[in-house]
Structure 1
Amino acid sequence: MFGRPEIWSLKILICTFFVCLGAFCSPVAGEVEVNAEISSESVYTGQDFIYQITVEGAAGGEVIDSSSLQEFSPEGPSMSDESRRSITIINGKRRERVSKKFTISYRLTAQKAGRHTVSPVKIEVEGKKYETQSLSFTAKEPQKDERMDIEAVVSKEECFVGEPVELTCSWYIKKQLLQRNLVRDLNFSVPAFDHPLVTVEQSNIDKNAKEEMEINGLTTGILQTSAEHNGLSSVKVTFSKILIPNSAGKINLGKPGITCKIAVSVNRNGGSFFGRRYNYGVFAAEAENISINVKPLPEKGRPANFSGLVGEYKITTQASPVEMKEGDPITLKIKVQGKYLKPVEWPELSKIPEFSDNFIIPSEKSSPKISADSKTFTQTIRTKTDKVSEIPPVEISFFNTETGEYKTTKSKPIPIDVKPTKNITLKDIEGMEDEPVGSEVKSVKGGISENFPADEIVYNEKFNLTRELLSPASLVIWGFPAVLLTGSAAFRIFFGQSEEKKKQRLKRNALKIASRRIKKAQSLPDEEARQELSSGICEYFSLKFDVPAGSITPEDCKEKAEISAGEEDSQRLSEILNNAQACLYSPSGGAFDKNWCRDALRILRRLEK
């Protein structure tokens, strides 16, 4: 009846083997696993991709050695706790399951074509050290397209150390490609923007542009115009930055470039009612290499207080107050005006003899404020003596490239009126002479009461309950609660609402109450958002149809919604409620989709019409 015994023995043996194998291979509860992956095994040079480390079994970790990523110009890391908690209720028994997961992501860029290997990264999790596995990928050179080009120029190819040079890049793309939205995923790369030997300042385009984009980690203004380029009607996108070299010699600024995706064909199988879908290829354009020759500043005539400024600058000072007592605080504002203000440093007032001899200068300094054409430093100082009659001028030195000479300019002195401060001793406080003051004390027959008028003398009175209850203070104490209670009762009699009226009012406001909860769900974490969305939908039908919110099921939702909405909307609302409750109570219910909130609000508003 059950077959041959040896066959059953073999089956039992095989099942036992696989059960043991599964138990052996499955990770032990609480064990930490560390893995790494890249977003694609085939990338293009100059195009960034994601390198992600996933830590299973822990809610946090720290990278202790990422040197293996340095050749790929890493950006990051960005960290995310992706732990999840699910609750299952079966036959009244509540089970909670917590899944701990943590990710660490870097954005990498391959600079050269060929096969590359990302060596292990070392991380520490809960006091233990782990290594990721090695990963390999292939980097390919992007294609060239004659409809796209990029040019880059500098305002000067030869300059002094500290002299501003403007780098301007212009990207040309055939106008028709942009008009038909056939270009996407633009990625500009300008090595000069993060060059270690230059300081980058904003240009006029940055200050006036209405559109911005991030290039090499810097917010950059862009200007878009029409232009003819290489015989094509093109769109010209221009951006620029001011570069201030920090050292002498030839500085290679590299080749500015761009990579982007351009549609190459129509996806015949991917079209939709709303338009075509395209297959995209990755294309690149690169400008000529840029370099500048930086000359050192001359030693002859260099002022002692020269801090490296090159250009033309002005300095003014303002003090408040100008009349004070010796030692009172004075707010001194030092304003430096110029075109490029990032290299301007705090004036060292303590190194100016006129300041250090006559003023107390604290070491604490506030951060300078930068406006369009000025940089303002604010310092609090105090006079050491009342003999000080003015705040001395403050100097600033710079190198003028037009004349080839150093120049020093200074602010005007500020007259002040310092009044002396008298030092009060303990003897001044106690008095100079120890002499009696006033007349001799005399004995009076009536005692101390003789010194007061009759109406101010305190008399001994016995306690009287009636007098105390009818006094003004007592009337306020016991009368106010009585008046308040009487008024409240009258208000409830004449203006109170019956239970039926309250239900009608809540029914009218059902959409407003539900909308508030559903909108709130859009900004909450997944688990709280599911609860809020589910409660919002159920509360709407509870108020509308006077039924308990906890008893409303997706089928009830569909049935009641069909009264005012079509079959499609009622079915969609039922699915949203079912999905929200499934995510809330089932570990396999799927991820929360915030589009559910938008669709639920749309359908509920339609039910009100």
Structure 2
Amino acid sequence: MRTLVTILFLVFANFAFGAEFSIQATLDSYRVSAGEQFIFEVELQINGSTNSEMPIPTLPNLNHFAELVGSSEPESSSFSFVNGKTQRSVTKTYQLVYLAKKEGKYKIPTIHLNFEGRSYRTQPLELLVTKASTGEVDPTKNLFVKAETEKKEYYVNEQITIHYKIFTLLGITNIPNISIPDYLGVTSEILDQPQRLTTKSINIKGKKFTTADIRTVALFPNKADDLRIEPVKVTCDVQVPSKRTRSRRRSLFDDDFFGGFNRTERRIVPSNTLNLKIKPLPTKGKPVGFSGAVGKFKFSANLSANSANVGDAVSLNLRVEGSGNLKTMELPKVNIPAGVEVYDPETKDDIRKNSQKIFGNKEAHYILVPRRGGEIVIPSIKFSYFDPQEEKYFTSETGDLKISVSGDVSEGFGSSVPVGKQNVVSQGTDIRFIQSGITISDGGKLPSNFWFLNIIPVLLIGIAYIFVQVQHRNEANKDQIRVKKAGSVALKKLKKAESLLDSGEPLEFYVELHRATLEYFALKVGVSEKGVVWEQLKEKLEAKKIESELILQLEETLNTCNFARFAPGSDKHSEKENLLNKVVELITQTEKTI
């Protein structure tokens, strides 16, 4: 009897506390515009006691209308107490960020999955992709990025200030990472990219958003044309409400303090597109000799002396200060009259920036050497600039600059002959010539502290030099260790990927190949292989002077792995082998560079 009761208890206990499984698929938006991103998410959850592993779903292929631009696979666990027993809940989420490319109404098919002998499936989803938007952001979303300018029309070389702002109804847990687009046809400069966000609240259509400036950029267009500023991609981690299975009883550990109500998701959000018109500078009123300066400036010129002797050097100093296109503008030309020897000018730029504009000064210093006597006249120097706010040209003029030169060429270098020792007359003990040799007294013996005072400093300098060299060698060794580690890690994982070519498990092959490639390049450029994002890796590779073609091939390879991981595809041996060989070739080329 006792045995029967025990058996019945175990059966009911297993029924009461057995594992429950669920799978659901969702879209963050069921209507998007072409060129806009959407997130397809599949969440798997196991509640209860089980030794079974979390199954891996085969995700639908959306390549026919969307491009996969990002992915993450967060996993979380929580615990609860039911009738005195600890129950574990495991949640695995596949977050796929897509860029909608083609208009139309699309069905995302059902995902089928088996777990512990039972069949599960998701509900089919529908997504409507409408015509590309006009560039305005959609405030109905809970997270978006907006690029703003003060106006829509600018002149050539006029500063365009773009403010990138993030708007969110969700909690952001890190500083957003912002991609750097190719600003074609313009000179660009980042004015501000705060390391700590200053937020404020704003009401948009009845919703209270939190907003912050995440980047400010200055652009200087080089030609008159329609200018399209492509979107930046902003990657950030946000807190979103956790999804719960209705059948699971809420536990103590679901409290906000334990993170039960929120989980972290990585979002990749594009900004809006900006379409600007760049106008040519007006021809009416354009001064002769205008060199392209646009902004607000002050110009000055001066001589270091108004009188000199033949052969004496006189400096002519030009200075432009203000705000505008200082980097690309040119200082005015100077007409030097005959009878004056002039050397190439020494130029000096002091260009600074704040969160709103580029400002500073540019200087040129000419050395003039008169070779004849009389009055030398440097014609008036003119500097012209265009003020885009006033929409007119301004000219600053110095007037003629004159030098009165004494003597003539027969006097050579005039009074600039160096003074020799014979010209110096000793007055008492006021002036003494420095002795050119060392006089040894005391019968030819050196002072007792001579070696201490002269040799010890030399030894100390030598010791310091050796110490610095050792430090540099240690740093170099660390770099070498990191580089060697990259190769050994890649070799180990590539061998494992090669062993999976004919395993019948294409998913494992692509996972291992993706991991090997990403970790190798991360270690090579000195970033953590854990949590590295493509934008960060790309910037580091560009800083290492890696060829753009190699970077493009690397991006294509990682995307191919991601497509194969998250969408059903071919399992042909030749395709996998070609991709493996491509990775080996990329690593071989990189070894020659880094």
**Shorter-chain-normalised TM-score: which range?**
0.3 to 0.5
Higher relative contact order (CA 8 A, sep 6+): 2
* Structure with greater Cα Rg: 1
